[in-house]
Structure 1
Amino acid sequence: MGRRLLAAWLLCAWMGIQAAAAAAAPPAKPGPRDTCPVCGMLVSKYPNWVAVVQWKDGHVHFFDGAKDMFKFLQDLPKYAPGHRPGDIEAILVTDFYNLRRVDARKALFVLGSDVLGPMGHELVPQADRLDAEEFLKDHKGKRIVDFGQVTPALIRQLDAD
């Protein structure tokens, strides 16, 4: 009886862990009808630029680039009324070189390069400093910033360029 109880408990624990991991994992890609809440563009047309904000309740917003994602995050009352920063589970961007989703809070972003995103001048996400410096050099970038350095003024400047 003890072994059966232990086996049942382990199975339930494993299933709970799997369910929690599945709930926390963002969808692999936006659907064909998912639009950017900032500009209204169909996000699936630009898979190399997708950014994601996932909420703790499992709801997901997809963006056609990091720039629109930052606009969204910097004005939640406008784009996501009733949501608070504390409700966010994950913020992800697509790394330029390896096209994998990375934690936006840990990523670096290159500004002023000759690479344009779907909405023009863009914050080009890089997973690490080495890639960011290489991209800056190869694509005539002007500056590398981290997540906390992206301000509304910086976004306005990108839009003005």
Structure 2
Amino acid sequence: MNGVYFKASRVLAGVLVCLALVACDKAQSPPAAEAALAFHPADECHVCGMVITDFPGPKGAAVGASGTKKFCSPAEMLGWWLQPENHRDDVELYVHDMGRSHWNTPDDAHLIDARTAYFVIGSGLEGAMGVVLASFSDPKAAQKLASETGGKVLRLDDIDQKLLGQATAMSPMSH
């Protein structure tokens, strides 16, 4: 009887080791979706064609059935997405969380869902050409920037083409 228990415990130990190795392997390799969202020096904005990493501030990415489209700013991404032919619920929208990232070099490890983000407009911070929308996951961080700079906190539902057009007309071009 002890032989049966000994063999069973060896098999169980082997299974546990295999499961641990599989779990370790999964933890080390980033998901394919995360890798597709990373911004590289050669990436060009889907809207304006400019090199995305040439500008400070948050970037945007839209992921849908047709692939990943990258943008030099949340405003460029939202301007594209708000067009009737692109305004679809099955498109995932991502922006950098500037509460956890440096303004001049946003960290792709801190991309958040734009549908849940808080955006600060009118901060005076430099970004890509046109309106600058600073994006945050934390409403307190967004409100702090807005209070310090005279900006205003918005949610995705507050942003439309008219707002983006008005803000662009009133803001100086960075580049």
Query: Aligned with 1:35: secondary structure?
Result: coil
* Structure 1 pair 73–28 and aligned structure 2 pair: CA distance change class (3 A): closer
Per the normalisation by structure 2, the TM-score is 0.69
Unaligned regions of 5+ residues in structure 1, if any? none
Figure out how many residues of one structure are paired with residues of the other and give that number.
153
- Which residues in structure 2 correspond to 1:102-121 (within 5 Å)? 102-121=112-131
User: Which residue in the other structure is 2:42 paired with?
Assistant: 33
1:110 partner amino acid: V
Deviation at 1:84, TM superposition (A): 4.7
Query: Aligned with 1:67: secondary structure?
Result: helix
Deviation at 1:73, TM superposition (A): 0.4
User: Which residue in the other structure is 1:92 paired with?
Assistant: 94
2:52 partner amino acid: V
1:95 partner amino acid: D
Unaligned regions of 5+ residues in structure 2, if any? 1-10, 102-109, 171-175
Aligned pair partner of 2:77 in 66, 69, 79: 69
Q: Is contact 2:57-2:127 (8 Å) kept?
A: no
Aligned pair partner of 1:126 in 123, 136, 160: 136
Aligned-pair Cα RMSD in Å: 3.3
CA distance in 2, matches of 1:60, 1:22: 15
Aligned pair partner of 2:160 in 131, 134, 151: 151
1:60 partner amino acid: T
Per the normalisation by structure 1, the TM-score is 0.74
